[in-house]
């Protein structure tokens, strides 16, 4: 399995990065309580339904259902493959 990224490396990387910083550089976020909100970058909307949780290191859109970690966000938003998203972080 040459080229496989060890799960321990991925887990350590996700523990070190801040999903708010990763997303905020691409989608302007507004703090609302303990979470951050924005209009979802994955569908057209006028009222923000996209939520980022810094404590859970997770994003979720209540409008279209998009959700995931920083890796998943980069893959969807920047159209990256998994290894490229890991490298970007």
Residue boundaries of the structural domains of the chain: 7-88
What pLDDT is stored for residue 44 in this prediction?
95
Q: Are 14 and 54 in contact (CB under 8 A)?
A: no
**CATH topology for the 7-88 domain:** DNA Primase; Chain A (3.90.580)
Q: Are 36 and 54 in contact (CB under 8 A)?
A: yes
Cα within 13 Å of Cα(88), Cβ side: 20
- pLDDT tens, residue by residue, 50-87: 999 999 999 999 999 999 999 999 999 999 999 999 99
Kindly tell me if the per-residue pLDDT of 1 is higher than 60: no
Q: What percent of the chain has pLDDT over 70?
A: 97
What pLDDT is stored for residue 5 in this prediction?
87
Which residue matches tokens 């909100």?
Answer: 37
- pLDDT tens, residue by residue, 27-55: 999 999 999 999 999 999 999 999 999 99
At 58, list the tokens: 């997770």
At 82, list the tokens: 């998994």
Which residue, 79, 86, 87, 22, is CA-closest to 54?
22
């Amino acid at each position: 399995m040459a080229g496989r990224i060890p799960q321990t490396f991925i887990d350590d990387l996700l523990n070190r990065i801040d999903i708010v910083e990763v997303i905020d550089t691409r989608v302007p976020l507004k703090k609302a309580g303990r979470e951050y909100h924005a209009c979802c970058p994955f569908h057209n909307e006028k009222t923000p339904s996209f939520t980022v949780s810094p404590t859970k290191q997770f994003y979720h859109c209540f409008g279209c259902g998009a959700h995931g970690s920083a890796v998943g966000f980069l893959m969807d938003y920047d159209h990256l493959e998994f290894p490229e998203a890991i490298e970007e972080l």
